[in-house]
Structure 1
Amino acid sequence: MTSRILCVLAMLAVGLTAAATSAQASVPNRWGFALVNLTSGVPDPAHQAGSWSAGFNVSVTPGGVGQTYVRFPQLAINGGVVHVTAISENAYWCQAQKWAPSGADMLVAVQCYRYGGAPVFTPYSIVFEQSTGTLPAPKAFGYVHYNGAGITSQFNSAGAVNTVAGGGGVWTVQLPGLGSAGFAGNLQVTSADPSQPARCKVGAWAPSAGTQAVQVRCHNATNVPLNTGWSLTYQRERAITGGALPPGRFGYTFDNTPANPGPYAPVPPAVNYNSASAVNTVQSAGLGLRLVTFPVVGALQDHVQATAYGPGPEYCNLQTVWNTFGGSVYVRNVACYSAATRVDRPSMVSYTSRY
């Protein structure tokens, strides 16, 4: 089994040397998402979709303990970013290890852990996305994949070049040309490490007219700052998939007042976007548990990502799979942890359907 894992990871290493430059406009956008609820086979069809042709599906194969390989059909390309959110009632998280083309497909290695670093399988939501082209303001989209030493893949819908500075577990990402007068949009961050447990989050966020300045913080299996790889995506009036033809049903929110029992609508409104012009709400479902509702935009197939926000080592996952019913989406719940104890902490949530 060990030799098999090493072979697969070696294969994944091929194609991960994309230059640190914006994607070329001649390359079509590619995206896919899935809810991985098994270790082998085709995962939940109600929660997978992508830019592939009809008749194809996401498939999953097992690796080592807590490790799975996700195959996105017809998405082979160098670069892009991957985001993963664990789904569990326990203090678990999942991280991307590596991703790269495998024939005509995109193959992603995902590893999940319990707090403390023991590997464990848990369901998770995963999205791969690669973007091109530009967007007219106020729409904005950008991403960075950083491998622990430098940027290996990036995109900026203003045509600018993103930068990363820092290290040792704390970095500052600049997304020039995507700035806003105040807080607007949403952020998602996921750790990307092929060899050790790593958790990453949004540490801080400072918007300005010229740029979005975002702090990324990462920790090891416990609470020690860690130099590791990660992916960051910024979206504003744009779905997390960032495709050339965005869906009509998507939304995002920033639970920036986690002590508020709610239901409340996060402010400013620009961090609480709903593509149907409805109002997303957040409310307490118990200590460290937040029920997030996206009205009107719900439609299968669909997808949710969540990430923690703040300067500490806390992290968040999804307590269970979201429910899409009557045109609305109920994320029940975003669960945040300090070590293995649930705590009220800020978080960011992004929802998209395929339509």
Structure 2
Amino acid sequence: MSRLSRILLSVAVALGVIQVAAPTAQAAVPNRWGFAYVNVPAGVPSLSHQAGSWPSGFNVSVTPGVPGETIVRFPQIAGFGGVVHVTAVYDGPAVCQAAKWMPVGPDMIVYVRCHQFGGSPVTVPFTVTYSESSGPMTGPATSAFGYVHYDAGIVTQYNSAGLGNIVSVLGVGWYKVTLPGLGFTAAAGNLQVTAVNDLAPARCKVVMWAPGSAAQQAEVRCFNAANTPQNSGFSFTYQRERNINGRWVPPKTYAYTFDHTPSNVGPYAPAPAGVNFNSQSAINTVQSSGTGLRMVTFPKVGFAQDHVQVTAYGNTADYCNLQMLWNTFSGIATVRNVVCWNGTTRVNRASFVSYTSTL
């Protein structure tokens, strides 16, 4: 969301033009959340792949906007802040980003824009998730959760240790994110990053992750549609033994992995175990399906309604998406495939993959 949009929205809220449900004190994490797989240009997208904290009887709906834009309406979960993540689901070099999000009446509206490599608008399927958290987090002492929405400054944030997150600018389109208090004794957890830009095509990725005992630190780099570094807003989420929205029991079935060795044809289980977490204590595996194609298997957690997000890793302008919709069978979720691109050419690249069911 642009600075002007935030100012206008704040004024509208103050005047009572837009009513926003205030989170209760000591609210559960997250206060509100929703996700969807958007496979239609208008109407109600797949019911098997949408869920949220709204009351029963409501569904996600979408309408087309400007070329390449889809307006997603999450019902009855209007909030103020939070983060949005988006992943294109398409067998081609396309990227989807969040343009902005805002409450409209009781609903949360998210504007998603997709473009081909090079910048031409394109309408493709995508996954999208929104969540907002506040207050203390319950769960195992080993779990942690934090996020940042950055746009020339921190717009909104959450840190389960109750500390303030930090974003430093290292160069054009190059940022360092620090989540104090969310450190661990070994590498553990998962990262997701999405470009947030309502002015131009953009994409962002993780280029460095330095987990430590005191804090989680990562570097994010953002690019324009032709691989040139570009200043951009972004959403950044860190999850450890929580699902992508920060939830814990429910859901009991979620998993994530860090495919840090894409040259390994596999199947292999990424190590250490903390980056390859499965809430049912099963072993996630990754293997090659061809150049630039990585099949990820999450055993014992695969049930509808469910959701997947992918983020590329590595100090290049390359990017990763989902090649097609994942599938579930007998409790196994199979992501076939994560597909990574250098421009318009498939390449083997590292990636973070996060899966969750609602069960």
User: Which category of TM-score, normalised to the shorter sequence, fits these structures?
Assistant: over 0.9
Displacement of 1:25 after TM fit?
A: 4.1
- Aligned with 2:210 (options 206, 209, 222): 206
Quickly say closer, same or farther: Cα 1:24–1:209, change in 2 above 3 A: farther
Question: Aligned pair count?
Answer: 343
**Aligned residue for 1:5?**
none
Whether the 8 Å CA contact 1:238–1:246 is kept in 2: the answer is no
Amino-acid identity (%): 57
**Aligned residue for 1:93?**
95
**Aligned residue for 1:155?**
158
Gaps (5+ residues) in structure 1? Answer: 1-8
Normalised by the size of structure 2, how large is the TM-score? 0.92
Whether the 8 Å CA contact 1:198–1:219 is kept in 2: the answer is yes
Are 1:280 and 2:275 counterparts?
Answer: no
Matched letter for residue 34 of structure 1: A
Normalised by the size of structure 1, how large is the TM-score? 0.93
Are 1:196 and 2:212 counterparts?
Answer: no
Displacement of 1:134 after TM fit?
A: 2.6
Provide the C-alpha distance between the structure 2 equivalents of 1:336 and 1:278, rounded to a whole number of angstroms. Answer: 26
**Aligned residue for 2:20?**
none
Are 1:268 and 2:268 counterparts?
Answer: no
Matched letter for residue 226 of structure 2: T
Matched letter for residue 181 of structure 2: G
Provide the C-alpha distance between the structure 2 equivalents of 1:115 and 1:292, rounded to a whole number of angstroms. Answer: 25
- Aligned with 1:350 (options 335, 351, 354): 354
**Aligned residue for 1:14?**
9
**Aligned residue for 1:62?**
64
Measured against aligned partners, the alpha-carbon deviations of 1:313-350 in whole angstroms (never above 9, x if no partner) come to 00000000000111100000000001110000000000
For 1:1-355, what aligned pairs fall within 5 Å after superposition? 14-15=9-10, 25-26=25-26, 29-132=31-134, 133-135=136-138, 136-147=140-151, 149-166=152-169, 167-243=171-247, 245-355=249-359
**Aligned residue for 1:4?**
none
Provide the C-alpha distance between the structure 2 equivalents of 1:144 and 1:48, rounded to a whole number of angstroms. Answer: 24
Matched letter for residue 147 of structure 2: Y
Provide the C-alpha distance between the structure 1 equivalents of 2:307 and 2:130, rounded to a whole number of angstroms. Answer: 12
Tell me the C-alpha RMSD between the 2 structures.
2.0
Provide the C-alpha distance between the structure 2 equivalents of 1:137 and 1:156, rounded to a whole number of angstroms. Answer: 14
Whether the 8 Å CA contact 1:112–1:121 is kept in 2: the answer is yes
Gaps (5+ residues) in structure 2? Answer: 14-22
Whether the 8 Å CA contact 1:34–1:58 is kept in 2: the answer is yes
Measured against aligned partners, the alpha-carbon deviations of 1:13-35 in whole angstroms (never above 9, x if no partner) come to 625999xxxx8845561000000
Quickly say closer, same or farther: Cα 1:16–1:257, change in 2 above 3 A: farther
Matched letter for residue 295 of structure 2: L
Displacement of 1:241 after TM fit?
A: 1.4
Measured against aligned partners, the alpha-carbon deviations of 1:189-235 in whole angstroms (never above 9, x if no partner) come to 00000010000001100011100001011000011111010000000
Provide the C-alpha distance between the structure 2 equivalents of 1:224 and 1:51, rounded to a whole number of angstroms. Answer: 39
